[in-house]
Every structure is written in structure tokens, then in C-alpha cells.
Amino acid sequence: MAVSWNTKQKLANPTVYFSRNRILNRFARSDISATYPTSSTYNNHVVITGLKSDTTYYYMPECGNQTYTFKTARRAGSSTEFSFAMVGDMGTFGPDGLSTTVGKCASNPLKPGEKTTIESLMTLKDSYDFVWHGQ
């Protein structure tokens, strides 16, 4: 499971606390806290390994104040049907969120009140098993 989140400051060792219950007694960390010249935030990225298949986990990123959940994939070879959402373009964003303008090669910026790709995914999150983000 990969967990990514943004912070205003660079983190020396981004950490995610997790477990199979609400007592988050395990952690995973990395050294990935990166930004680019026009960004106002750092993207932190941690991969959690050694998880059991078809299991619900609770987790909270460092600097977080909310616990989230995810469910791991079924065992390889499972013949149970599944559904997924595929995302190819996350939409138009500015330094702190939705952008109302686009560059020379882009068109159709989102209007205030329109849903971004991630907002649409969240609205429908109970209708698919996982999200695949192709780049």
C-alpha cells in the first residue's frame, strides 16, 4: 500500500502509523518528501509492506489528525469479480487547489462548484474495489 500526502514543510522521514485495529502500533517510513519549483507543498510518500491479503487496515500519516482505512487486495488467483476506477488525468489544479485558468495547451478549466477528479472518485468510492492511476 502506498500512502502519499502533502505538507507545507519538508519531512526528514515521512511516517505512516497503521494496524489492523484503531490502535496504530506499527509504522512505515521513507525519505521521500519532494517538491518542485512552482509548488507550495511537499509530497510525502511511504510504502507499507508485509500486509495480509483481503484485510482492512487503519492508518494515519505523520502530522495527521484523522485515521483512515484501506482494504488490501484479495489473494492472487482469486476468481472473485472486482471493479476498479482508472484515473488518467487528475484535473487542473493551482498552487493551493482548484484552478480557474489553464495554460496555452489546455482547455476547459473547471468552474467553481464543479467536482475535481478526486472529489468524483470519493463520491463513488463504495462502488469500486480499487483505483488505478495511470501516468
- Can you give the pLDDT of all 135 residues of the chain as single tens digits? 999 999 999 999 999 999 999 999 999 999 999 998 888 899 999 999 999 999 999 999 998 899 999 889 888 888 888 888 877 655 555 555 555 566 666 666 667 777 777 777 788 888 888 777 665
Report the alpha-carbon distance of residue 1 to residue 81 in Å, rounded. Answer: 21
- Whether the CB-CB separation of 27 and 17 falls below 8 Å is answered with yes
Whether the predicted model's global pTM rises above the 0.85 cut: no
- Whether the CB-CB separation of 74 and 66 falls below 8 Å is answered with no
Domain boundaries, the chain: 1-74, 81-135
- Whether the CB-CB separation of 82 and 35 falls below 8 Å is answered with no
Report the alpha-carbon distance of residue 130 to residue 113 in Å, rounded. Answer: 26
Report the alpha-carbon distance of residue 12 to residue 72 in Å, rounded. Answer: 28
CATH number 3.90.1690 given to 1-74: no
pLDDT at 92: 52
pLDDT at 61: 96
